Homo-oligomer: A and B are copies of this chain.
Amino acid sequence: MKSEKSVVKIYKMKVAKTIESVRRLVKNARNAGEKIGFVPTMGALHTGHISLIETAKKKCDFVVISIFVNPTQFGPGEDFSRYPRPINAEVNICKKTDVDLVFVPAVRKMYPTENLTWVTVEKLTEPLCGRSRPGHFRGVTTVCAKLFNIVAPDVAYFGQKDAQQAIVIKRMVADLNMPLRIVVCPTVREPNGLAVSSRNQYLTERQKKDAANIYQSLQTCRNLIEAGTTDTRQIIAEMQKILQRIPSVEIEYISIVDAETLESIEKISGKVIAAVAVRIGTTRLIDNILVDAGT
């Protein structure tokens, strides 16, 4: 039986708070022959998310977005409690982007008992952000496995900005034979090059200007590779110079890795990812570019 409180109609868009109602609504759409697209988010929706939704709307008949700030992917001392949760504004954004279904579960719906089951991806989660955020990717893969099982989409959309996350999720889907396809969409940037992120809300105007240097360092990397530089140490040194110009920027890592294995490389060849993580004040920012250097 349909519970009146578990589904709220807003124009054509529906907002579901329970797993059962999401399953029922998606099943109806699937039975009507519709292709299901899914954009998992932690809310704090920005133009990056909107571009994922727009891509999903173009390619699918029925688009589901989840808004769930997942506690299991935050480490102790990370920003779980201060992570922005402007839920009414979010629902309005979804309405404007013509989303069909918004899933906004409470934490107790997603984790009704102590969670004992974890999905982990080895190797790919070790470098880059894996080093400074132990347990983070385990939380991401576990909650994505749960959401994929609940929503049962044909396609799920992720942003290139979280390159390592996208690669890890893709590998999980392949290794566990999950019946969906992962599509990775380009990073959306502010006019000054700063990658759009929910955590940009934490930045002052001054810090946002400083943060633009992250993308500058990545562009320098691309230019050097395109000019034929193959020594990653030399490239990283140039990137470091750019970031060190800004006193407020504390570098966590600058890495150039194989785009498939995420292993560090000494000599540029094939597809590589240049990735940067910094802290500006108390805010951690990441960005990356994919460069195909040929063989």
Contact = CB atoms under 8 A, between A and B. Distances in A.
A237 interface: no
B150 A116 contact: no
A176 interface: yes
Contact of A176 (B113, B146, B179): B146
Interface stretch (A119-127, A156-164, A192-200, A222-230): A119-127
B119 A176 contact: yes
Nearest to A178: B149
Nearest to A119: B119
A48 to B, nearest CB: 26
A186 to B, nearest CB: 26
A15 interface: no
A19 interface: yes
Contacts of A152: 179
A118 interface: yes
Interface in A103-149: 113, 115-124, 141-142, 145-146, 149
Interface of A: 19, 23, 113, 115-124, 141-142, 145-146, 149-150, 152, 171-172, 174-179
20 contacts: A23-B179, A115-B175, A116-B123, A116-B171, A117-B120, A117-B121, A117-B171, A117-B172, A117-B175, A117-B176, A119-B119, A119-B176, A145-B176, A146-B175, A146-B176, A146-B177, A149-B177, A149-B178, A150-B177, A152-B179
